[in-house]
Chain A
């Protein structure tokens, strides 16, 4: 018998505590419960408010109430992010706003890296944060762009051409508008700006244009004298050189051309 018992699954005997044995149930004089038990009883006591006839009418209204309405909670982290965003806006002379199509991180990382190499920073801020950051500042017009998915590039205007080159290879990032030196530009304006030469080059071109007027006038004034001088020099050179048949012929041709010019 014992052997078969050991072979079969052993069930443990239940642990029994005796509460009552045949005696009367005490209801009239219950003993004071333990402190911990008393606490639980006090916590779980039901609470019934004032009766309905005593409540004011306004509380009894059965129209749907906006119980799940959004409560404006001040989130310090959002404030920090908004400050950071405003900092970026203020420190970067070039801010470009991109519309983001569906792009995987795999595709986005090389673009982020390429922009970083060129001293540009690709960042994502939400509508709420940008709204908080730009509220009251001169960047408020930018909020209109933040309706779908978007990214922001913060950089310096010198790298605009490189940025266009990098973003040309990514159809998922679409340039919408940009701020360059506190001026909001549309996409076409940005493209034109990127094609402009550098500032030094533009200045040198301006200088040359300004100078060309004066130099042109000077040249025209001196033109006749210079022609005369050149012809005289040629005469001298011909007279000094040994006189041969060819030289004589040349001299005749030159005389004819001189005559034409002077007439």
Chain B
């Protein structure tokens, strides 16, 4: 007569931990330039601004120091956008030159999820640099 258990066993940590999870996964190695454009007096720029704040954090910049983050302020009540130009070498293989996210109706979490879906997946795999120690070299010689 008992109803089988339905629902989650673990509770979610909320939006903040979801954002944190996405941020930990971000890898900007495939991005050459990120331009965030918004109108400061717009109604729907909260999430874009928060996204910009997260993108400018040192940890994420460290994933690709060559990636330039630019902020553009416009005064013409246009919709906020995030333009990401892909690194040319990866753009050739993936056939994507530019990714544009129109963030007027997107939350910060959704922006990060889209970023991870499109940009992080294009990031090249980490090449493990092998360093040969002196003893190994000697052994090889022998």
- Point out residues on A near B: beta carbons under 8 Å: 97, 99-104, 144-145, 147-149, 171-172, 174-177, 186-189
For A145, give its contact among B40, B50, B53, B57 (CB under 8 Å): B40
Q: Is the CB of A100 within 8 A of B53?
A: yes
Give the shortest distance, in Å, between B105 (CB) and chain A (any CB).
Answer: 16
A18–B53 CA distance with the chains assembled, in angstroms: 70
Interface window among B25-33, B67-75, B114-122, B128-136: B67-75
User: Which residues from B are CB-within-8-Å of A177?
Assistant: 40-41
The answer to whether the Cβ of B45 comes within 8 Å of any Cβ in the partner chain is yes
**Contact flag A148-B50 (CB < 8 Å), given A102-B56, A172-B56:** yes
Interface string of B38-50 (1 = CB under 8 A from A): 0011000110011
The answer to whether the Cβ of B111 comes within 8 Å of any Cβ in the partner chain is no
Chain B, range 51-93, C-beta contacts under 8 Å to A: 52-58, 69-71, 73, 75
Q: Is the CB of B71 within 8 A of A148?
A: no
Give the shortest distance, in Å, between A68 (CB) and chain B (any CB).
Answer: 14
For B73, give its contact among A101, A147, A148, A175 (CB under 8 Å): A175
Q: Is the CB of A187 within 8 A of B75?
A: yes
For B71, give its contact among A97, A99, A147, A149 (CB under 8 Å): A99
For B53, give its contact among A102, A171, A189 (CB under 8 Å): A102
User: Which residues from A are CB-within-8-Å of B58?
Assistant: 102, 104
Write the chain B residue with the least CB distance to A177.
B40
User: Which residues from B are CB-within-8-Å of A101?
Assistant: 52-53, 55-56, 69, 71
Q: Is the CB of B56 within 8 A of A148?
A: no
User: Which residues from A are CB-within-8-Å of B46?
Assistant: 147-148
Chain A residues touching B, majority SS: mixed
For A176, give its contact among B54, B56, B69, B73 (CB under 8 Å): B73
- Point out residues on B near A: beta carbons under 8 Å: 40-41, 45-46, 49-50, 52-58, 69-71, 73, 75
User: Which residues from B are CB-within-8-Å of A187?
Assistant: 40, 73, 75
Q: Is the CB of B71 within 8 A of A171?
A: yes
Give the shortest distance, in Å, between A127 (CB) and chain B (any CB).
Answer: 11
Q: Is the CB of A149 within 8 A of B53?
A: yes
A177–B40 CA distance with the chains assembled, in angstroms: 8
Q: Is the CB of B57 within 8 A of A102?
A: yes
Give the shortest distance, in Å, between A104 (CB) and chain B (any CB).
Answer: 7
Q: Could you pull out 15 A-B pairs where Cβ atoms are within 8 angstroms? A: A97-B40, A99-B71, A99-B73, A102-B53, A102-B56, A102-B57, A103-B56, A144-B40, A144-B41, A147-B45, A171-B69, A172-B56, A176-B40, A186-B41, A187-B75
Report the 3 A-B pairs with minimum CB-CB distance, sorted nearest first: A101-B56, A148-B49, A176-B40
User: Which residues from B are CB-within-8-Å of A99?
Assistant: 40, 49, 52, 71, 73
User: Which residues from B are CB-within-8-Å of A97?
Assistant: 40
A101–B75 CA distance with the chains assembled, in angstroms: 20
Give the shortest distance, in Å, between B56 (CB) and chain A (any CB).
Answer: 3
